[in-house]
Structure 1
């Protein structure tokens, strides 16, 4: 599975401990925790929502091939559709990352029909710098390191995410 931001669990313990210390603690359940994420690829915008109210909005970078839904591993597209945040990774190669539950059953079926591997390891992660070029990931959603720290605090595992074209 090619991906943007997941470092294997076999990473050296010192690296894991260092990374875990830099990850901000999640916020306690309150009005500040998101209950939904909406990504608008065409606007390059991600919003964290709570009960339909926007808590925060971020400018995002996408995969090198930003138009269209992800179909297979290596196509560098960011998937479109309904997913969930399935994991938190304090050991990300891109500061911190939240795993998106791509591929879902429909994605796997579509890839199988094309004789392809759907890929995986789609994340929301840090690593973007506003002086860097737009759309540089392998299909992930990237924000700055400071922004992923805010998102990390507000987004628990299980949060639904909708990625629109």
Structure 2
């Protein structure tokens, strides 16, 4: 299969990264699945994902165990993660920051730093009151039986180790991820 790659410049680490052109992920938190998409066409579906213990929606604060709704990009890839592989998302988004500022959950300085990061194609601050280090990851040494029984993460999207290995062939830094 031929793949076309789009080269992107990552200003946060001054490197060029690639993402398969037009490939993006749709994370369906109700159906507990990830669809690998090219445009509007679904190329593959990964079922049986786990999300945050607090469900999915707007994250109000670090530690609420909610998987955030919204559009993000993969901002970094952790190959040496305790969860096998970790694809970090560019959470919080500008939309997340705007809602949080309106609700008094973050201050103007934090809002501005999130907006600045997105404007300059950088990973936003990961230590805000809204939390951070939200991503898509495998199980590592975690029990696959528990993974299949319940939503267990602190806000991330978890797959089995074989699923995360398979997904890693489709995605890289820069890939768009929509969580609904």
1:146–1:28 distance in 2 versus 1, CA, 3 Å: farther
Q: Report the alpha carbon displacement of residue 89 of structure 1 after superposing the two structures with TM.
A: 0.7
Instruction: Give the whole-Å Cα distance in 2 for the aligned partners of 1:47 and 1:99.
Output: 18
1:56–1:129 distance in 2 versus 1, CA, 3 Å: farther
What does residue 172 of structure 2 align with? 156
Which of 65, 75, 91 is residue 86 of structure 1 equivalent to? 75
Structure 1 unaligned blocks of 5 or more: 1-26
Which of 24, 38, 63 is residue 52 of structure 2 equivalent to? 63
**1:36-95 per-position Cα deviation (integer Å, ceiling 9, x unaligned):** 100111111111112322222112100011142222211100000111111111011100
Structure 2 unaligned blocks of 5 or more: 6-19, 107-128
**1:76-122 per-position Cα deviation (integer Å, ceiling 9, x unaligned):** 00000111111111011100011111101221233343335111100
Q: TM-score normalised to the size of structure 1?
A: 0.74
Higher strand proportion? 2
- Which structure 1 residue ranges, 4+ long, deviate > 6 Å from structure 2? none
Instruction: Give the whole-Å Cα distance in 1 for the aligned partners of 2:23 and 2:173.
Output: 10
Instruction: Give the whole-Å Cα distance in 2 for the aligned partners of 1:30 and 1:80.
Output: 29
Aligned partner of residue 90 in structure 1, secondary structure: strand
The answer (yes or no) to whether the contact 1:72–1:111 under 8 Å persists in 2 is no
The answer (yes or no) to whether the contact 1:71–1:110 under 8 Å persists in 2 is no
Q: TM-score normalised to the size of structure 2?
A: 0.69
**Count, aligned residues:** 137
What does residue 8 of structure 2 align with? none
Matches within 5 A, 1:136-151: 136-151=152-167
Which of 83, 93, 105 is residue 115 of structure 1 equivalent to? 105
Which of 127, 145, 162 is residue 131 of structure 1 equivalent to? 145
